[in-house]
A and B are shown apart, each in its own frame.
Chain A
Amino acid sequence: MKTFRHCLIFVSSILISLFSVFGSANADGHKEFKLGVVTFLSGPAAEPFGVPAWNGGKLFIDLLNAGNAPAPYDKVGFGGMKITAIPIDESGGATKQVQEFRNLVQRDKVDAVLGYVSSGDCMAIPSVADELKALTVLYDCGTPRVFEDASYKYVFRTAAHAAMDNIAIARYLMGKGYDVSSIAGINQNYAWGKDSWKDFNVSIKKLSPNSEIKNELFPKIFAGQYGTEISALMNSKAKVVHSSLWGGDLQSFILQAKPRGLFKRTQVVFSAGDHVMPGLGNKYPEGVILGARGQYGMMAPDTALNRWFYKAYMDKYGVFPAQPPYRMVQGLMGLKMAIEKAMDNNGGKRPNKDQIATAFTGLEWEAPGGLVQMKLGNGHQAIQPHAIGKTVKDKDGNITITDIVRYSANCVNPPNGIKAVDWIEAGFPGSDCK
């Protein structure tokens, strides 16, 4: 009987606390824009992506709410509406995320959701978003399939998909005259790794038909130990080793491969290699060719907007911003521009979801990483310019990036209506690489 009472107290205290929190969360205002922000706050993708992205997002939202961002982002919040952000942890898999998304939309009644690093989540969310008619901005995930396999009305991706990363690296290797007669790859055994490797090796084959594949390694995600893989890569004697590893896996790989001389013996290319630079510092190897999934961080263009963002982030967090904060800020800027455009079209009144979605379609805006254009997926998928560079030690002994080559968005992204894989296999028809 005693346990029964205990338990009753326990269960009811949980329910009471839940409902009291829930009840108090109903503050609503006409001048407020509720934004659900979903990104990794725990798990292996938190430290390299989720947390720095949200740091950048928080910083930018605070600056927007204070009206302290430079033009054209100088209006307070989103078109005068203060932004209230509700952060949600992305970890736990797509099943959990669909439910969290529903909770954000139906329980918290957010005006928009911005988020998703994982491709699996980006595949799962859009159909629910359209079903619930919820404005959704995918800010980071890589898979091209989101808008290639389907079309959505209320879903937008404000960053280029992953095909660009690998096409640009292939073009860089060719353009700079590297020997690509034999290539090898080490990529994680899931969609991201397999797609990245396929995009890369097909691109290389198209640009240099005699190139031969020596070794294709697919260690499982979060393996952490790469001793055997490094031996295999050393033995294969491939001229170029490609990898799309990220986060802790990339750090482990670098730390294990560097003492064994892999980076000295062969040309290593990382399709998304910059986000571990703040963590690794000078332990990052020299002579590595890398992309940042856009013109981000050390490869960002020298514009007033970028200088402002770089400095604001550096001042606040003490490290330079790598790709994640750039991508989240890019998404927030796009959303802000879409809302303000819709507001203008609506005579200065608060626009509804449909008006924002219409304004968002095909939108273009200037972000710290360059001009973002919603050109693919019938105006729902962004393309952006890209940059590839090579690491080098500067005179103070710090690792930095030189030999940066910039690619226009149309050079490394497929045109509207053709799948990225088909475009690569057709030999990049219609690409514009001035």
Chain B
Amino acid sequence: MTHKFYNNLIVQSIFLMSVLIIVGLFIPNWLVFVITKAIAYGLVALGIVTLMRGGLVSFGQGFVFAIGGYTAGLLGTQAGLTDAVLLLFISFLFTGFVGLIFGPLLARYRDIFFAMLSLAFSMVLYGVLIKIDAIGGSDGFVLPESTYFGILPSSDYADYALYVVSIILTGIVSVLLRYYYNSTPGLIALAVRENELRVEYLGASAFRVTVLNFTIAAGLGGMGGALNGIALGHIDPEFSYWTTSGEFVFISILAGYLSVPAVFLAALLLELVRSFSGRYFPDTWQLILGVFLILSIIYIPTGIGSFFKKFMDKLNKKKNE
């Protein structure tokens, strides 16, 4: 069954990716950009979802988001490395490595202590970045235009090129994460969420799983930060500010921890609501956004992902009958 499941998963993903890549040619440019940005935010939120499976919520994903963004930015401006794919990959590895260093420290804490400590790290980074004038201080700095395998696309196709890269990237990451979630450590994470003590008695290490989850979350956050920086063409310390981290938490709550695609859908939904309310209600857009957040928490407490799961369960049930 599992084998078939994964085969299906890969086929489905490739199909979905190709559809999205083709659709990207026909949708307006602004939507291409909004989707790219939603993917960047979605990647970070996916990191939080990974942590959520183990019962933890990080209020400080801005920490890795900023590290990823600044890694890509500094490589671009200082080392002259402009290949988007390479920048994303290096940011992923580097931030994952940072996560591996900070993970053991954070993994000793749970609940609000974990959330607050992660928040503290992000705000410390914010404070440091603001003070470094060499990289623009609070104003940040501008990234050079990205290339793709040595080709610099004309400005008409730059957005689309990044869109394609991010779609493919997301497809690969999503499939890999599904593998991970269904693997032994991935399932142990769920058990840790239910009862950590029992997991330890059964001989598994909750600490190790948490570090692993944190490292993965860090890598994803770094990649999201790099993608966001490349898409915007500008990076500033706001990446590490607590309001940015708050958005990631909201996206992951809106999505829930049951489904991977739901995370990206939630990110896209939030981006769209925010941009349209900003456009048509310039004086009261925060109010609209706030009402949207409250309503979605009241009516979809388990997240958009729960619909996906219900739908799939129903489908499977029918098949089995």
Out of A100, A119, A189, which one reaches B275, CB within 8 Å?
A: A100
Residue of B nearest to A3 (CB): B299
> Number of A residues whose C-beta is below 8 Å from B?
48
Complex Cα gap A192–B155 (Å): 32
Complex Cα gap A124–B69 (Å): 14
Complex Cα gap A362–B139 (Å): 27
Complex Cα gap A21–B280 (Å): 8
Q: Please provide the chain B residues from 273 to 321 with a CB less than 8 Å away from any CB of chain A in the complex.
A: 273-276, 278-280, 282-283, 285-286, 292, 295-296, 299-301, 304, 307, 310
Out of B34, B273, B283, B310, which one reaches A99, CB within 8 Å?
A: B34
* Chain B 105-138: CB-based contact to A (< 8 A → 1; otherwise 0): 0000000000000000000000000110100111
In the bound complex, residues from chain A placing their C-beta under 8 Å from that of B139 are 119-120, 123, 143, 145, 191
In the bound complex, residues from chain B placing their C-beta under 8 Å from that of A123 are 136, 139-142, 234, 236
In the bound complex, residues from chain A placing their C-beta under 8 Å from that of B292 are 14
Question: Closest 5 A-B residue pairs measured CB to CB?
Answer: A124-B234, A106-B30, A190-B138, A93-B238, A107-B30
Residue of A nearest to B285 (CB): A89
Residues of A within 8 A of B (CB): 3-4, 6-7, 10-11, 14, 18, 21-22, 25, 41-42, 86-89, 93-96, 98-100, 102-103, 106-108, 119-120, 123-124, 126-128, 131-133, 143, 145, 149-150, 189-192, 194
* Chain B 131-171: CB-based contact to A (< 8 A → 1; otherwise 0): 10100111111110100000000010010000000000000
A4-B140 contact, Cβ under 8 Å, with A18-B273, A88-B279, A100-B278: no
In the bound complex, residues from chain B placing their C-beta under 8 Å from that of A6 are 299
Q: Please provide the chain B residues from 26 to 80 with a CB less than 8 Å away from any CB of chain A in the complex.
A: 28-30, 33-34, 37
Best-buried of B140, B232, B236, B273 by chain A (most CB within 10 Å): B232
Out of A10, A88, A94, which one reaches B278, CB within 8 Å?
A: A88
Complex Cα gap A145–B135 (Å): 12
In the bound complex, residues from chain A placing their C-beta under 8 Å from that of B140 are 94, 120, 123-124
Out of A10, A96, A124, which one reaches B299, CB within 8 Å?
A: A10
**B252 at the A interface (CB under 8 A):** no
Q: Is the CB of B234 within 8 A of A94?
A: yes
A4-B307 contact, Cβ under 8 Å, with A107-B30, A108-B279, A123-B142: yes
B114, chain A: closest CB distance, angstroms:
26
Out of A42, A98, A103, which one reaches B286, CB within 8 Å?
A: A42
Residue of B nearest to A94 (CB): B236
Complex Cα gap A234–B101 (Å): 46
A47, chain B: closest CB distance, angstroms:
13
**B248 at the A interface (CB under 8 A):** no
Sample of 6 A–B contacts (CB below 8 Å): A21-B276, A99-B271, A107-B30, A119-B138, A124-B142, A192-B138
Complex Cα gap A132–B253 (Å): 34
Out of A21, A41, A102, A150, which one reaches B33, CB within 8 Å?
A: A102
Complex Cα gap A93–B244 (Å): 10
A274, chain B: closest CB distance, angstroms:
24
Q: Is the CB of B142 within 8 A of A98?
A: no
